[in-house]
Amino acid sequence: MLTVYLLRHGETTWNADGNRYCGATDVELTPKGKAQAIEAGALLKGISFDAVYSSPLKRAFDTALIASGKKQSEIVAVPELKEASFGSWEGKTRTEFIAEDPKLWEAWERSPETTRAGGTGSTAIEIATSADSFFKAACQKHPGGTILVVAHNAVNRFYLAYKLGMPLRNYRRIVQENSAITRFTLDENYEIALNQLNHR
């Protein structure tokens, strides 16, 4: 059985600016975001991790660096954990891009597993199965182990919804605040047990 401590990255400059969608854009942490990562690190203190994994995007990698207390060389950047591409929605607030194309947002709300975010971005099933492939590999690499994983809002929520058997359109019912901790286990059949959600 693998134990996973899953974090969302700390607050970014775009999170702070009306919650603009970051997506695949490599946005920096704010000072508050760095402080949130420090707070997460305090909660994780004393836990022995077999490995620390992160999305390659700077906001996640820097959160992993701060929260884990590890050296940069000890954190493994994983492409499968990179945030969804939100296409034309990136850099905009939800209010802004819905006004531009309300039908596209309605399609995403109804069927994110088959609709491309922002018209040209990722689908929910692509995001969920990409993360799932990473976690299955981690189960094989760290049987009986404990790992820290730092990723993103959409990645974390779509993966959890997928593993819990929820319709992916309900992903926003799973809360993932900046640098909050979610803990779950995966057994030998990759079945999930959610132990803790969005803890500060």
Mean pLDDT of the region 175-181: 96
What are the pLDDT digits (tens) for 44-81?
999 999 999 999 999 999 999 999 999 999 999 999 99
Q: What is the DSSP letter of 182?
A: E
Tell me which residues are annotated as active site. 9, 83
What are the pLDDT digits (tens) for 10-19?
999 999 998 9
Domains of the chain, each with CATH number or no CATH: 2-20+27-84+124-199 (3.40.50.1240)
What's the predicted TM-score (pTM) here?
A: 0.95
Distance CA(165)–CA(5), nearest Å, equals: 20
As a three-state string, the secondary structure of 22-68 is: CCCCCCCECHHHHHHHHHHHHHHCCCCCCEEEECCCHHHHHHHHHHH
